[in-house]
Amino acid sequence: MSKELTRKDLEQKIRRLEKEAMERIHIEERLRRLVEHSTDSFFIHDFSGKIIDVNRYACERLGYTRDEILGLSISDIELNFIPENHPDKWKYMVPGIPATFEGYHSRKDGTTFPVQIRLGLFEEGDAKFMLGIVRDITERVATEDALKESEEKYRMLFEHSGFATSVSDLETGEIITYNRKVYENLGYTYEEFKNMSASDFQPIKNREDVVIERKKIIEKGSDVIETKHTTKKGDIRDILMSRVPVRIKGKYYIQHIYFDVTEWKRLNAKLQNREAELEKTNNSLKEMNAALKVLLTKRDEDKSEIEEKVRLSIYQLVLPYLDKLQKSCKDQLQDVFFDIIKSNLNDITAPFPYGTSSRHLNLTPMEIKISNLIKQGKTSKEIADLFNLSFRTVDVHRANIRKKLGLKNEKTNLQFFLRSLGNA
């Protein structure tokens, strides 16, 4: 029984090993495909420099077939390779820590091109090999050449710039170079200006402060300050100065660009004075507006006071006597007149007595009188008697009133509608 279990264990272990071997083969195949389709050249060589393996891209870049290149040495393709020196250097390399350097590779047809080589050591059993990953840097070198050309163009632009520009030494502050705008703006000729220093036309701090200040510019990347320039004629000009650090052959310098802002500052001061005048005028208007608000408030208060006095006077000095006269009157018609007078006085003293009547100014004076009586509940006969009109005439007036109020074909009660207008 135990022998059978042991055999199963062995079979499982064999299957596991076979699976791991297959996985490793698949990984190696995938790595091979990645290397084959890489846009970098891969070389494996021994410590003598003999090429052991390459990828397809390396063959294409050098113009060899795979069989041809496997018969070559690194010295056949690398122009700077010295067989006597490199093996000793490779011995001190550590796996996982590659070295990077640049060189030139030679094609089968004899043409050369610049390359960047990333070289690393790897071990396979007891053997040691070198893996080189080579990148064609022809475009980068061309870019660097173009950069040099652009520097030449910059020099031309510097000389012919529309802005006064100079470059000075970081440590001493001495002007190293400048364009013609610098001395032209100051009123000097080239011959006069070439023997001058910055202190001849610009206030300068002591040397220690200048050095500290300029080193801060390197940390910040740039800055802009205000200063003053004195022209050959003695005029003082306000200058906005932009300062940018530039590095030339490992040494820092400061590039200055000068903007004359004298006229701008003059106009700005004038504008500020004008703004101050406008602000003063605005404050005066605010004060006048506040005073006007006080007057309007006082007017409203006086108006309310007058209305209250009128209301009190009517209630206290007029209506009581009307009541007494009405009680002493025995005539029925006069009694009706008293009711009308008191009703109209109440309307006058009510809040907003004419608030809605203005909406109906198309009513005639007689129609307004009849409307007031209808609102008080008077019948057409009572209204006819009061104004010595015929019953038919009053009905015509009522019809006109309804038409003008938009109630011609409505069943709305005219008395209630007129009362609602009075309360609107």
Q: What is the pLDDT along the chain (424 residues), one digit of tens a residue?
A: 444 557 667 667 777 766 666 655 554 555 465 556 677 888 888 888 888 888 888 898 899 998 999 889 988 999 887 767 666 677 778 887 888 888 999 999 999 999 999 888 887 777 888 888 899 998 888 878 877 776 676 677 677 777 888 888 877 778 888 888 888 899 999 888 888 888 888 887 676 777 777 778 888 888 888 899 999 999 999 999 988 888 877 788 888 899 999 999 899 989 999 998 999 989 888 888 888 888 888 888 888 778 777 776 776 667 777 777 877 877 777 777 877 887 777 777 665 444 344 344 477 878 888 888 888 888 888 888 888 889 899 899 888 888 888 887 878 888 888 887 755 4
Which pTM does this prediction carry?
0.36
Residue 189, phi then psi, degrees to nearest 5: -90, 170
- Scan for tokens 């209506």, then name that residue: 319
What are the start-end ranges of the H helices in 170-329?
Answer: 180-186, 190-193, 207-220, 262-313, 319-328
Report the C-alpha gap between 219 and 208 in whole angstroms. 17
- Scan for tokens 């796996």, then name that residue: 95
Report the C-alpha gap between 221 and 246 in whole angstroms. 9
Report the C-alpha gap between 275 and 324 in whole angstroms. 72
How far the first Cα of the chain sits from its last, in Å, is 113
Residue 11, phi then psi, degrees to nearest 5: -65, -40
Residues 350/351/353/357 CA torsion (nearest 10 deg): -140
What are the start-end ranges of the H helices in 124-250?
Answer: 138-160, 180-186, 190-193, 207-220
At CA 175, angle to CA 171 and CA 180, rounded to 5?
160
Secondary structure (3-state) at 219 = helix
Expressed in percent and rounded to 5, the helix, strand and coil fractions of the chain are 55, 20, 25
DSSP-assigned beta bridge partners for residue 166: 178, 256
DSSP per position, 331-361: -HHHHHHHHHHHHHHHHHHSSSTTTTGGGGT
Query: Would strands 41-45 and 112-124 be described as parallel, antiparallel, or unpaired?
Result: unpaired
Report the C-alpha gap between 131 and 42 in whole angstroms. 7
Tell me the one-letter amino acid at 299: R
Domains and CATH numbers, the chain: 16-136 (3.30.450.20), 143-260 (3.30.450.20), 354-423 (1.10.10.10)
- pLDDT of 195 reads 83
